Structure 1
Amino acid sequence: MNRQELRTKVRNTVHRLVHEKGYASSIDLFVQMEKISPKLVEEWRFGRVPYLERVLQGNLGQLNYIMAKFKETAKEMGLTPSNTAYMRWGKGPKQPLRFSKSGDANVERHYSTHFVANKNKDSLASQPLGEA
């Protein structure tokens, strides 16, 4: 898949997620784009996978491009960023989950940010797919 096709797929997926859920997250985006299975997300959420990037399909360049287009699309749609804490599921102490091998705070924040639709009916986020 070339960059133009990837960009279009990211945009369409973000629009669909916001229309269905009222927000878009990187996890949902990766699942919808088939970069990770729901089963592997669950494994990561229970702490059985050390960091999410380890089980994502694609190279880091492609994943970075997807994340950049995700953020760009969210900004174009007028979505509000909301930093979300991802904590390990299951018994025992709740520990923060890692998204990246590096654990860099900026990278972690980028992955964990959800983009939420505004309640304003005139926003691009409230328009059905294809009208934006």
Structure 2
Amino acid sequence: MNNADLDKEVKRLVHSNRYEKGYVCSVDIFLQLDYLTKKDYEDWRFGRIDYLERVCKANLSILTLINKLIRKYSTELDLKSSWTGYNKYGKGVKHQLRFSKSGDRTIEEKYATHYIDKNRMIELKEKKVSM
């Protein structure tokens, strides 16, 4: 997939996730683009993989581009950015998981940021209650 196609697909996924979930996050987009498998994601969440980038099926420049596009389209939709902690699942000490090999704070924050549509979240909650 070239960068123009990736741009279109990320834009579509940002809009789709915003509508379906009320928020947008990098991990969901990676899963939907098949750059991350469900099994690898779960292995990372349970602490069996030391950092997420290790198992992504795209190079770092593509992952960086995806994060930039997510931020761009989320800003266009006026979504609120919110840092979200990703902690280890399972038994034992719940330590914070790493996304990148370097562990650089700026990079980690970009991966961990969720973009939230508060109004859509309210609609989804009301819809769930009325069912």
Q: Normalized against structure 2, the TM-score is what?
A: 0.89
Which blocks of at least 5 consecutive residues in structure 1 are unaligned? 121-132
- Amino acid of the residue matched to residue 38 of structure 1? K
What's the secondary structure of 1:119's corresponding residue? helix
**CA shift digits 1:35-70 (9 cap, x unpaired):** 101111000000000000000011111111111111
Q: Using the alignment, how far apart are the partners of 1:118 and 1:88 within structure 2?
A: 27
Query: 2:83 is matched with which residue?
Result: 83
Q: TM-score w.r.t. structure 1 length?
A: 0.88
Between the aligned partners of 1:96 and 1:65, the Cα distance in structure 2 is: 24
1:33-48 correspondence runs (5 A): 33-48=33-48
Output the CA distance in 2 between the equivalents of 1:56 and 1:6.
16
Residue 118 of structure 1 and its aligned partner are, at CA, apart by 3.1
Measure the CA separation in 2 of the matches of 1:26 and 1:47.
19
Tell me the distance in 1 between the aligned counterparts of 2:89 and 2:14. 26
In the alignment, the residues of structure 1 paired with residue 12 and residue 3 of structure 2 have an alpha-carbon distance, to the nearest angstrom, of 14
C-alpha separation in 2, matches of 1:74 and 1:8: 14
Query: Which amino acid letter does the alignment assign opposite residue 23 of structure 2?
Result: Y
Residue identity opposite 2:79 in structure 1: L
How is 1:1-132 mapped onto 2 (pairs within 5 angstroms)? 1-119=1-119
Equivalent pairs, count = 120
Question: Paired residue for 2:125?
Answer: none
Which runs of no fewer than 5 residues in structure 2 stay unpaired?
121-131
- Higher helix fraction (1 or 2): 2
Q: Given residue 43 of structure 1, which amino acid in structure 2 is its aligned partner?
A: D
